[in-house]
């Protein structure tokens, strides 16, 4: 029941970005909804969320690179429910390209989608959370933000920045009762590589033509054999998000433990290993 009807909601209200079918956001929507939450699912195109059919899910078109659209959706949710309890910043995209040949447009797009969007959405929601002295921001990072890999360094850089932003928000929002949970996935089976493949095109004059098979290998790494099922991933994340004390950090998925361990090793050794696997 809507807060505007005079009866306060007892269900958690959750806003999730990047909810296209076949992705992590899609699975998170279904899982939160199954747990009894009111879920606002968003994606750039409404038709990409047609598969979401749970009665607790409400769908809105949202381009997370446009501040006016973000504020419109946030204000719509608050008008209907009175608050937002959880926001999940999941929208993002790979940025496969040799860094030395990346255009400034590619650079900007990588950070717009994987870094700036999360901060825009969070900043639009935080005033309401401050008013209620409670709330949870869940940012979906990546193990690529822990260790840089060739051919996807723009994505690595953008996710590294998101990790730092998440830690900063956690400290700065704590006085207002707002928690921040950074989720760092390893390999999870989704459509993210398929979506990138449609736009991957090396320049006709590229100096990296001989490395194209390695570039494609890197693009498909997130869905490699052994990757975690997206439904299982969502279940584990929602378990923690809805717990009495959401953790500030969690990592899961293929290679997540390996990359966590790599952080303790000499950087020269780790980057050498990445080079050997994806270049040499």
CA distances from 16 to 61, 95, 156, 219 (A): 12, 22, 22, 25
Give the residue from 228, 242, 263, 270 showing the smallest Cα distance to 36: 242
DSSP H or E stretch at residue 42: strand 38-43
155 is catalytic: yes
Q: Phi/psi at 50 (nearest 5 deg)?
A: -55, -30
Catalytic-labelled residue, pool 159, 179, 211, 262: 159
Rounded Cα distance between 245 and 154, Å, is 33
Q: Establish whether 159 is a catalytic residue.
A: yes
Compute φ and ψ for 58, nearest 5 degrees: -120, 130
Quote the Cα angle for 261-265-271, to 5°. 100
Catalytic residue among 155, 179, 211, 262: 155
Return the active site residues: 155, 159
């Amino acid at each position: 029941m809507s807060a505007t009807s005079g009866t306060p909601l007892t269900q958690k209200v959750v806003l999730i970005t990047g909810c296209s079918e076949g992705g992590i956001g899609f699975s998170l929507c279904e899982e939160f909804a199954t747990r009894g939450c009111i879920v606002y699912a968003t994606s750039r195109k409404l038709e990409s969320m047609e598969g979401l059919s749970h009665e607790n899910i409400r769908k809105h078109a949202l381009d997370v690179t446009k501040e006016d659209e973000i504020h419109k959706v946030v204000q719509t949710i608050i008008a209907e429910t009175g608050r937002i309890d959880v926001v999940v910043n999941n929208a993002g995209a790979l940025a496969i390209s040799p860094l030395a040949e990346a255009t400034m447009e590619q650079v900007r797009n990588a950070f717009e989608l994987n870094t700036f969007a999360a901060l825009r959405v969070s900043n639009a929601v935080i005033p309401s959370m401050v008013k209620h002295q409670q709330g949870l921001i869940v940012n979906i990072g990546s193990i690529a933000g822990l260790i840089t890999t060739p051919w996807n360094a723009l994505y690595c850089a953008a996710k590294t920045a998101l990790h730092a932003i998440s830690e900063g928000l956690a400290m700065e929002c704590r006085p207002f009762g707002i928690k921040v949970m950074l989720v760092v996935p390893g390999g999870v089976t989704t459509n993210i590589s398929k979506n990138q493949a449609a736009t991957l095109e090396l320049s006709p004059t590229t100096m990296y033509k001989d490395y194209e098979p390695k570039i494609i290998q890197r693009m498909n790494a997130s869905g490699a054999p052994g990757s975690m099922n997206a439904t299982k991933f969502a279940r584990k994340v929602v378990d923690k998000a809805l717990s009495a004390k959401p953790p500030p950090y969690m990592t899961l998925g293929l290679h997540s433990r390996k990359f966590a361990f790599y952080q303790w090793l000499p950087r020269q050794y780790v980057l050498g290993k990445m080079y050997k696997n994806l270049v040499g």
